Structure 1
């Protein structure tokens, strides 16, 4: 316990308090010896980052309790599991996906967005598509912190789009039709996004050509 507290930069008293609040899972025991590992250290660093971002210990404890006791992550985060496929990763696999970018601050941001949760010794990403895209962007040289910040901004807009389509359906159909018409709404958004990207590319190509002239 003293070694773990020292590595995490906290006091043993604070660590005991976190254990009592069930913010970290219990250690592995061999007789009278309690073994802590990198998973406990990672959790403590994430707690520190969440506290720095203004989260309360009560809120962190509720999230930790729900995840550590096997509650379905998709249900916890409010995502329909038939739409997005959660991905289970070890901390080492997550680190390999985002080399050098898995910092406490980025983990806290991902938790804020609902992208990540923990289930025992595993980390759960709520969407395989988002995981693949974000790791691809990082491989292209875009810092993970900026990818997560962009994700937060995108969410604001897509929430507005979802609300608009929901109101449209409810004006002309019934609430039960929302799920059935969901693929149509998604197709409209994807098509408009594709057209918008085309316009942006053409705009930048034209601007670059004018600059060369």
Structure 2
């Protein structure tokens, strides 16, 4: 225990306190000897890193419990990694740096349920670098992470429906086309349609706002 505390840069008293709170797993015992390993050291460094980022011990305990209940990376990735999306390995501290105070047990549970996050030992794996970076940018712009995740769930439902449309078209009319060729074609169609849909939506909203703004700025009539 003294060796582990020294490696982690904490006191033995603090280490005992963490053990009592269940923040680190018990050691492997051989007779009267307690063996700690790199897993314990990584957990202690994670606790220190999250404390430095403003998390409380109760919050860290809840985060740890949430991670431990999540699916591991092999289950999320299935038989192989995604063909186009690049997974990102993160420490819990790095995840906190991306999303700051938005890293809560509730948001983590949602991300794990969606399959955005998975666990691999003491590391966290985000399924897509692009989704990670876009989500972090939205949070920096002021969108709550809970809203980003709930919107992601809705987008996935529509994306699944779109994928089904393109796969059916391929099977029905393009028997000679390789599935890999379908991806860029499908992305091009969806990207163009989404771009035009955003134009239509923004024009409608702009047309709705403009009369209200003009009315608000009008001079009152002399009476």
- What is the TM-score normalised by the length of structure 2? 0.68
- Tell me, yes or no, if structure 1 residue 87 matches structure 2 residue 88: yes
Instruction: Quote the residue 2:191 is aligned against.
Output: 190
The Cα of 1:45 is off from its aligned counterpart by: 2.7
State whether residues 90 and 123 of structure 1, in contact with CA within 8 Å, keep that contact through their aligned partners in structure 2.
yes
Instruction: Quote the residue 1:173 is aligned against.
Output: 174
The Cα of 1:5 is off from its aligned counterpart by: 5.7
Of 52, 57, 62, which aligns to 1:45? 62
Runs of 4+ with >3 A deviation: 1-5, 33-36, 38-44, 46-50, 71-76
Of 17, 21, 24, which aligns to 1:6? 21
Aligned length: 181
The Cα of 1:200 is off from its aligned counterpart by: 1.2
Q: Which structure 2 residue ranges, 5 or more long, are not aligned?
A: 1-15, 48-56, 216-223
2 CA distance for matches of 1:79 and 1:207? 45
Instruction: Quote the residue 1:130 is aligned against.
Output: 131
1 CA distance for matches of 2:35 and 2:206? 65
State whether residues 92 and 124 of structure 2, in contact with CA within 8 Å, keep that contact through their aligned partners in structure 1.
yes
The Cα of 1:146 is off from its aligned counterpart by: 0.6
Instruction: Quote the residue 2:105 is aligned against.
Output: 104
Instruction: Quote the residue 1:206 is aligned against.
Output: 207
**Greater Rg, structure 1 or structure 2?**
2
Q: Which structure 1 residue ranges, 5 or more long, are not aligned?
A: 9-14, 17-25, 51-56
What secondary structure does 1:151 align onto?
A: helix
